[in-house]
Amino acid sequence: MDARLDYFANPTAGKSLKYFMSTGRSLKESPLPLATQELVALRVSQINGCAVCIDMHTKDAAEAGESAVRLNLVVAWREATVFTEAERAALALAEQGTRVADASTGVSDEVWANAAEHYDEDQLAALVILVAFMNSANRLNIITRQPAGDYEPGQFG
């Protein structure tokens, strides 16, 4: 499968994506735990069906030491016992923040309050921005049919 658009070769895409991707890099330096970031990025990408992001975040998380069991169970995190309560709160917020069209209320007060029990304001800010960032990245990749499978951990810095 070939991508419909080569973001790296297109000057308009390259200029815009340079700024867009800086958001992703800044999140890596946020106080939100890196393991949580990868789990959330993976779950958002699973919901949206973004194969290239699933490929990237699975490989990056594994390279950072995440277990195959946890990575395989992200898709069914509610029934899995391998996630902390904080991670579960982040995954719930990520799901509701991604599935906004499924509920007119967006993220419920209950899900927000649960996340706020586990994360401080800076971490919550990073979590919200990460969910929005991943949804945007997923759409950029899905619309242009970016192929998956060839990603090498750390490939994009």
- Domain architecture of the chain: domains with CATH: 32-143 (1.20.1290.10)
Q: Rounded to an integer, what distance in angstroms lies between the CA atom of residue 108 and that of residue 37?
A: 21
Q: Which of 74, 77, 89 is nearest to 123 (CA)?
A: 89
Over 80: is that where the pLDDT of 103 sits?
no
Task: Report the pLDDT value the prediction gives residue 157, as an integer from 0 to 100.
Answer: 65
Helix, strand or coil, per DSSP, at residue 113: helix
What percent of the chain is predicted at pLDDT more than 90? 85
Instruction: Check residue 107 and report its DSSP letter.
Output: S
* 141 pLDDT higher than 90: yes
Task: Read off the pLDDT band of 33 (50, 70, 90).
Answer: very high
pLDDT band at 101 (very low <50, low <70, confident <90, very high): confident
Taking all residues of the chain, what is their mean pLDDT, rounded to a whole number?
Answer: 94
Q: What is the pLDDT of residue 156?
A: 76
Q: Is the pLDDT of residue 9 over 70?
A: yes
Position 68 scores a pLDDT of: 97
For residue 100, what pLDDT is reported? 87
**Which of 40, 19, 60, 17 is CA-nearest to residue 146?**
17
Has this prediction a pTM greater than 0.85?
yes
Give the range among 31-35, 88-92, 102-106 with minimum mean pLDDT. Answer: 102-106
Cα→Cα distances 125→27, 37, 122, 145, Å: 10, 12, 5, 30
Instruction: Read off the tokens for 95.
Output: 């799901």
Grouping H, G, I as helix, E, B as strand and the rest as coil, residue 11 is helix
CB 30 within 8 A of CB 122: yes
Give the integer Cα–Cα distance in Å for 4 and 90: 33
Position 106 scores a pLDDT of 87
